[in-house]
Amino acid sequence: MTKNQKTKKLKTQVENAEQNDLKNQLVRVMADYDNLKKRSEDERNQMYKLASISFFGKLLPIIDNLKSAQNHIKDSGIAIIIGQLETLAREEGFEEIKIDVGDDFNHETMEVIETIETKEEKDNNNNTNMDGKVAEVVQSGWRHAGSPGLGEDGATIVRHARVKVYKYKKEEKINE
Amino acid sequence: MSKIIGIDLGTTNSCVAVMEGGQPKVIPASDTGKNTTPSVVEVVKNLVGDVAKRQMILNPSNTIASVKRLMGRREDDKEVTRTKKMVSYKIVAGKNGMAEVEIDGKAYTPQEISARVLMKLKKDAEKYLGEEVTSAVITVPAYFDDSQRQATKQAGEIAGLKVERIINEPTAAALAYGLDKKNAHKIAVYDLGGGTFDISILELGDGIFEVKSTNGDTHLGGDDFDEKLVDYIAEEFKKDNAVDLRLDKQALQRIRDAAEKAKIELTASEEVEINQPYITQKDGQPLHLTMKLTRAKFESLVDGLVQKTIKPVEDALKDAKLKASDIDEIVLVGGMTRMPKVIETVKNFFGKEPNKSVNPDEVVAVGAAIQAGVLAGDVKDILLLDVTPLTLAIETMGGVATPMIPRNTTVPTSKTEVFSTAADNQTQVEINITQGERPLSADNKSLGRFILDGIPPAPRGIPQVEVTFDLDANGILTVTAKDKATGKSQNIKITGSVGLSEDEVKKAQEEAERHKAEDEKKAEIIKAKNNADAMVTTAEKALKDVGDKTPADVKTKVEDKIKAVKETLSKDSTKEELEKVTKELSDTLSEVGQQMYSAQGGQEQENNENGGEPKTEDKKKDEQVEEGQVVE
């Protein structure tokens, strides 16, 4: 092989390597772009859902206040308005989380704001073990049904229910 | 090679980020969608983050928060003693006297607890990336000693993460702003988080950050600000109603929420209204909490807290043997640094504008991800993508610059839009290409112009001229105009002038900003003029088509109104004047229509059948494309 031939061969090799590099980069960029397209489509859907959830979340305190007002003045007109709001919420896929006093505390859907001390082993209905049961629902919880992604059963929690929970009084002092 | 994630393992909140396509991206928590996760762990049921926080009151002795305060410290350490008073879980002396947490008689090391948080972040990252994550860069406060760093590293290992590097939080923040590449030598990082305040002075040499000094207050943060505000609201309410809302946990919770919301809103507005109707009852009557809070009032409430940060800053500078004016860059970290008063205080102290563009809750994780990217070899300049610095536009009726390629568009790119003629029987159009941010062509730089002629005579608005802007990766702009009826096309190639120096771009942008108000006014007048002009054409056409079927009085009325519009157009009229005469003409014109319909009645259907789809032939012609000649 002459020197010229050698040079030429080396040159071709370098060029090939460069070409492969570029091709690699191009493929990576194309793949990145394709993935980005898919993700932005997902994110767009997610955004749409989150926007409506976020808006409804801001509306909830007003619905609460209306209900407080209704508890106080008991006006049939306001009752209708609350009904309308609740129908609208249902139509948009929102539902109130059903919680009854005596239900077990569920960390997925509830937030404890206070514990109620209880020393009794049995409650009035002779049911045992009130420890860890809901004593009062202070603020209702809401979820958006059928929106996959967040939350346990495929539903997104818009607002966790705020509850008071029974707890056995245990005398214990720590970090003295 | 799998991705390396960057983790900010914080005292109150933690955050995880990763390099994606050369950019750092914060990964949202899979359960809440939020970008940060509370560093709270319920050990027995193994709950981490928001879910652990929600049941904290129910299981206070099983739920561990602020475990970072115990990391790598002995049980008799001053900080541990202080933490003991704050938390409701049990802290004991473990192996070698190190602080440990005891739950139901079982001892857990702070490493094990932190590992639970790290495991959750790892899982969130894996879910987001769709692949297994095995390595991480984790940040620690600059003042962490060797045993604390070691403990943090162990926490990572327990979580199944190979800890590629432990880096300082202030260093990560500086990396997030790219300060390693800037000519900044002395950097101050001011970190006011949820529960701690840290100030670090860094010095950069050969791309490596050296921590010159650190200082701070381990018990000063956003929670203290919230508490001040809650107290104020409760006191004010007590003054008016003689009821202490703090005694009612339900009411207290509502005030806390309202205070946090108010604090956030006051970073943007000067005044907020706090409304909590039916907050409590007194003598069977409901009481409402309504009050206004100004930013000035809030600032005066927390002024003491903000001022408390200054002494540590002074001490840190003294230790680093520097003056405030020696500092080249200041970086803000932590949610509380969003507060305008904090920004102002820092700015006044250093006499410089601090860096605050990166979300202060995420900046440390972002920096950790950048460091992780460097270690993984992600942060390479694969292919630098350029953007066009200024808007490229085409001049349309009334001298308006209609944008074709907006500024900051990544090149190469192309854009096609169809335009038409402005006058009846116009046989040529002039394509004027401009560059700049002002709404009128005359105020922008003209890059070139050419004429497309040979358009078949037709009423205005009918011819279709397709204009394509094509900007290649080298900044060469090719503009093509094609008459869709004849297929005839012309183009122009503009090289060089598309690329501008930084100064030129800045000048153009500043100019646009300065003239924004008057430009908008001008553009509105032109829009009104164009509308008026179009209305005149419509009216004239209507009179020509159906004038003979229109009652004479209506016809005269329309003609008068046309005259009025034309007169207003010829004068230097305001937008309102133009809109008024245009509306009058439009109203009168609709009378013509009404007259016609009431006269014609039953003929409507027949007309509809003849009126549909007149353009089928045109459409066929569109497809015949010819190469046009090149101007220039």
Contact B625, B487 (CB under 8 A): yes
Question: Least CA distance to A30: which residue of chain B?
Answer: B21
Which element (helix H / strand E) includes B483? strand B477-483
The total of structural domains in chain A comes to 2
Same domain for A120 and A102: yes
What does the DSSP 8-state code read for residue B97?
G
What's the whole-model pTM score? 0.70
Q: Is the pLDDT of residue B604 over 60?
A: no
Q: Which of A57, A92, A127 is the last residue of a domain?
A: A92
> Is the Cβ pair B21, A28 closer than 8 Å?
no
User: Within a domain: residue A67?
Assistant: yes
Cis peptide before B277 (omega within 30 of 0): no
Percent of residues in chain B assigned helix, strand, coil, to nearest 5: 45, 25, 30
Residue B377: predicted pLDDT? 75
B583 catalytic residue (yes or no): no
- State which of A92, A115, A135 marks the end of a domain: A92
Q: Say if A5 falls within a structural domain.
A: yes
What is the pLDDT confidence band of residue A121, given thresholds at 50, 70 and 90?
low
Asked if A41 and A79 sit in the same domain, the reply is yes
* DSSP-assigned states of every residue in B485-540: TT--EEEEEE-STTS--HHHHHHHHHHHHHTHHHHHHHHHHHHHHHHHHHHHHHHH
Q: Which one from B124, B126, B169, B395 is the annotated catalytic residue? A: B169
Active site residue B146: no
Mean pLDDT, residues B322-329 taken together = 94
pLDDT: is A26 or B462 the higher one? Answer: B462
B32, B51, B249 ranked by CB distance to A107: nearest: B51
Give yes or no for residue B614 having a pLDDT over 90.
no
CA B482 from chain centre, in angstroms, equals: 39
B169 is catalytic: yes
pLDDT tens figures, B158-176? 999 999 999 999 999 999 9
Do A88 and A143 belong to one domain? no
Instruction: Output the domain CATH number for residue A65.
Output: 3.90.20
**What does the pLDDT read at residue A125?**
61
Single residue among A58, A73, A92 that ends a domain in this structure = A92
Contacts of residue B246, defined as CB under 8 A and 6 or more positions apart, other chains included, come to B230, B231, B234, B252, B255
- Residue B455 near residue B421, CB atoms below 8 Å: yes
The answer to which of A159-173, B366-380, B500-514, B541-555 has the lowest mean pLDDT is: B500-514
A101: in domain: yes
Kindly tell me if the per-residue pLDDT of B503 is higher than 80: no
User: How many C-beta neighbours within 10 Å does residue B322 have?
Assistant: 17
Interface test with chain B among A58, A97, A113, by most B beta carbons within 10 Å? A113
Quote the mean pLDDT of chain B: 86
With an 8 Å Cβ cutoff, are A113 and B250 in contact?
yes
Within-domain flag for A23: yes
B198 with B169: CB under 8 angstroms? yes
Residue B83: C-alpha distances to residues B68, B75, B77, B78, B444 (Å): 10, 10, 10, 9, 63
Q: Looking at the structure, do residues A9 and A82 belong to the same domain, yes or no?
A: yes
Asked about B548 being catalytic, the answer comes back as no
Q: In the predicted model, is pLDDT for residue B134 greater than 60?
A: yes
Lowest mean per-residue pLDDT among A46-60, B50-64, B208-222, B592-606: B592-606
Mean pLDDT, rounded, for B90-117: 94
Q: Say if residues B464 and B485 touch (Cβ distance below 8 Å).
A: yes
Contacts of B51 in chain A (CB under 8 A): 107-108
Q: A120: distance to nearest CA of chain B, Å? A: 18
Alpha carbons within 13 A on the beta-carbon side of B578: 21
pLDDT at B589: 81
**ipTM of this complex:** 0.74
In the structure, what pLDDT confidence band is assigned to residue B309 with cuts at 50, 70 and 90?
very high
Average pLDDT rounded to a whole number, residues B391-420: 88
Give the pLDDT score at A43: 81
Residue A159 maps to which CATH number? 2.30.22.10
The answer, yes or no, to whether residue A171 has pLDDT greater than 60, is no
Count contacts between A and B (CB, < 8 Å): 68
Can you give the C-alpha Rg of chain A in angstroms? 30
pLDDT at B471 over 90: no
% pLDDT > 70, chain B = 92
Contacts of A72 in chain B (CB under 8 A): 278, 286
Are A32 and B21 an interchain contact pair (Cβ–Cβ within 8 Å)?
yes
CA distance B592 to B549: 9
Q: Which of A160-174, B461-475, B492-506, B511-525 has the lowest mean pLDDT?
A: B492-506
Express each pLDDT in A16-48 by its tens digit: 888 888 887 787 777 777 777 887 888 888 788
For residues A83 and A9, membership in a common domain is answered with yes
Query: Are A76 and A127 in the same domain?
Result: no
Per CB-CB distance under 8 Å, the chain A contacts of B286 are 68, 72
* A6 assigned to some structural domain: yes
User: What is residue B210's predicted lDDT score, i.e. its pLDDT?
Assistant: 87
Q: Measuring CA to CA, which residue among B337, B305, B339, B355 is closest to residue B188?
A: B355
Predicted pLDDT of residue B301: 96
Within this chain, do residues A87 and A106 fall inside the same structural domain, yes or no?
no
The verdict on A135 and A154 lying in the same domain is yes
Q: How far apart are CA B8 and CA B138, in angstroms?
A: 6
Whether the pLDDT of residue B608 is over 60: the answer is no
Tell me: do A20 and A76 sit in the same domain: yes
**CA distance to partner chain B, nearest, from residue A161 (Å):** 10
Same domain membership, residue A84 and residue A8: yes
Strongest mean pLDDT among A29-33, B305-309, B467-471, B615-619: B305-309
Contact B33 A113 (CB under 8 A): no
Same-domain pairing of A127 and A86: no
Query: Looking at per-residue confidence, does B551 or B373 come out higher?
Result: B373
Q: Do B286 and A68 touch (CB under 8 A)?
A: yes
Q: Given the residues B3, B53, B68, B529, select the one marked as catalytic.
A: B68
Residues A48, A83: one domain?
yes
Q: What is the domain extent for residue A41? A: 1-92
Interface contact flag, A50 B30, Cβ < 8 Å: no
Chain B positions with Cβ closer than 8 Å to A: 21, 30-33, 42, 45, 47, 51-52, 54-58, 61, 84-85, 87-91, 249-250, 253, 277-278, 286, 382-383
pLDDT tier at B381 (50, 70, 90 boundaries)?
A: very low
Q: Give a yes or no: residue A176 inside a domain.
A: no
Give me the catalytic one of B8, B362, B483, B533.
B8
